[in-house]
Structure 1
Amino acid sequence: MVKIVIDARQASLGEGMQVKRILPFRKQRMVGPFIFMDHGGPVPLRPDIKKSLDVLPHPHIGLSTVSYLFSGKLVHRDSLGVKQVIKPGEVNWMTAGSGISHSERFEDPGVLAENSLELIQTWVALPEKFEESAPSFTNYQPEKLPVFTDKGVWMRLIAGDAYGLGNDVSTHSPLFYLHVKLEKDAHFGLPEKHSERGIYIAKGKLEIAGITYSAGQMLVFDPKVDPVITAKETADLMILGGEPLGERYIWWNFVSSRKERIEQAKEDWKQGRILLPPTDDEEFIPLPENPFKPKSTPPPEPLS
């Protein structure tokens, strides 16, 4: 029923910001088109560490980033000239395509008034025909994201379609992504349509088939099963999946179906061919010195 359990690993994004890294995982590189997932915070936004949390301009290719906040605010700037204050409950969908750079900072007065930050960031790999598409950024306000409630269950559809819900968030392949809150003893089930499905437990505990799972774990399920999920305590979940895209390579912030495209992206960043945000172009993250080749994300092995 539960195919694999992924325990989040600690990773550092700089001074003051430790994150739980869920994807990629050596035994489950992707879930549907989702190739990366970080859970950051909650971090107290003390004045002495707010500056150190800034993420300087850095590049992406071949993917869409999806930023979703539980609490706090941050300022997004990108090489398209977009400046957006990102707030809880919104969906901020940036498609890198052929190449984009962006930063995330905490200098806005409204941001500085916040007391904590907690967010989920995922990367969605693009189908081959969209890997070199024009970059874009779209902010979707909470009122554009359908919410469903039932006894002990609250859910917001972030993107895709599931449980009969849909919205206008533009995606490039079949997928689903939801924020779900469960009250203690509430029952819940997975969407049946999609072939790859996972649950990340951001808070709380779940019981499935007599086994208890805790915060910081992602559960990836066998296809065509319909598990009964019970909240052992109040829980916050991120439920995601979709259809697999095939092999992908990932190196630093670059994703591609071709190794040589990763190498080109490295050189493009080193040579300044990926532009910096026009209002945040005085500093940037240099290409890391990493001797390892891009890691591939092969499709899952067939179930026996």
Structure 2
Amino acid sequence: MIEMVIDARRKDLGGFEVGRVLPFHARRMVGPFIFLDQMGPAEFAPGSEAINVRPHPHIGLSTLTYLFEGEIMHRDNTGAVQAIRPGEVNWMTAGRGIVHSERTDPLKKSTGGPMHGMQAWIALPTEHEDGDPSFHHLGEDGQPVYENGGLFARLVAGEAYGAKAAAPASSPLFYVHWELAEGVRTAPPPGKGAGGYSERALYIAKGEIEVGDRAFHEGQMVVLEPTAEPTIKALKPSTVMVMGGEPVGQRLIWWNFVSSSQDKIDAAKADWKAGRMALPTEDDVEFIPLPDVPSTPEPAPDTVKPEPTHPV
């Protein structure tokens, strides 16, 4: 029933901790999901830096930012300026190249407050890797919701349970937020054997759940066997992200670049180093320099270097 269990690795990104789940040395992707971080939970003191990510580039992916608590201000070189708050979705598609920053609004810095959420990177299908960059902000009304008997479920992206979210996904996938009261039982979208998705996983952001006869706790990802059809039981109040989809093929990941082609990664490196990728017009004073680390010609998931500077 369970193919693998991945423990999030806690990483300090300059006063702010994330739990990095994907990529993992033994499991690079789940469907098209190639990167997954849990941001926090954290409580920022008044006047602290909070989230302060300078402009940096991406290619070959879509980023999906989703918050349980807090707020982040997004700016990118398509002209988008957008705060994201709990229950909303920021969906940014890099295509052939995009530059963005993520920061805490100065007014929020002055008061402090909580921060807790998830960020996923979703590898684009090969035919979309060179597409135009774009940004979409989706309010809560763009995400189908189900609530009954201690189960709250929001379809953040993709298609599941007969519903479709508004996020412009370019390959078959699903991403669901569950809030489970203690004792609640539910099930993930069906797997390959039942005509569903080839790859599925559950990430426990808070609480404890039972899958089959095994218990799993906060900070663990449970990767399901393709044909498994488990019942999930909440052993205590829990927040779970359920995700998966169809593979898009082998992908290289270097810094913030994802691609099916080493040549495209090398070209993106050269463009960023030479200043050929425009900065966001409202955040163009500073940027994150290209790391001075050679590219790896093979995926080498156990030595993905350098770490993405993206903390969310």
TM superposition score normalised by structure 2: 0.92
Displacement after TM superposition at 1:108 (Å): 4.2
Letter in 1 for 2:9: R
Q: Quick check: 2:51–2:72 contact (8 Å CA) kept in 1?
A: no
Which residue of 2 is the match for residue 271 of structure 1? 274
Paired residues of 1:65 and 1:94 also in contact (CA < 8 A): yes
Match of 1:189 among 162, 177, 187: 187
- 1:127-276 equivalences under 5 Å are 127-192=125-190, 193-276=196-279
Find the aligned partners of 2:112 and 2:83 in 1 and give their Cα distance. 13
One-letter code aligned to 1:93: W
Distance in 2 between the 1:178 and 1:111 partners?
A: 30
Q: Matched residues in 2 for 1:285 and 1:142: separation? A: 32
- Distance in 2 (alpha carbons) for counterparts of 1:106 and 1:168: 26
AA aligned opposite 1:131:
E
Which SS does the other structure have where 1:272 is aligned?
Answer: coil
Distance 1:12 1:5, change over 3 A: same
Contact 2:47-2:109 at 8 Å conserved across structures: no
Alpha-carbon distance between aligned partners in 2 of 1:57 and 1:112, rounded to the nearest angstrom: 22
State the aligned residue count: 296
Instruction: Report the more deviating stretch, 162-171 or 199-208.
Output: 162-171
AA aligned to 1:53 is I
The TM-score, its normalising length taken from structure 1, stands at: 0.94
2:21 maps to: 22
Q: Which runs of 5+ in 1 are unaligned?
A: 299-304
- Structure 2 residue identity aligned to 1:39: Q
Given the alignment of the two structures, is residue 36 of structure 1 paired with residue 39 of structure 2, yes or no?
Answer: no
RMSD: 1.5
Task: Identify the residue that residue 68 of structure 1 maps to in structure 2.
Answer: 66
Q: Where does structure 2 lack aligned partners over 5 or more consecutive residues? A: 191-195, 302-312
Secondary structure in structure 2 of the residue aligned to 1:269: helix
Q: CA deviation at 1:47?
A: 2.5
Contact kept? 1:29, 1:297, Cα under 8 Å: no
Alignment of 1:101-120 (within 5 A): 101-110=99-108, 112-113=110-111, 115-120=113-118
SS of alignment partner, residue 271 of structure 2: helix
Q: Which residue of 2 aligns with 1:97?
A: 95
Question: Structure 1 38/295 Cα, relative in aligned 2: closer, same or farther at 3 Å?
Answer: farther
Distance 1:119 1:278 in 2: 27
Check whether the contact 2:47–2:111 (CA below 8 A) recurs between aligned residues: no
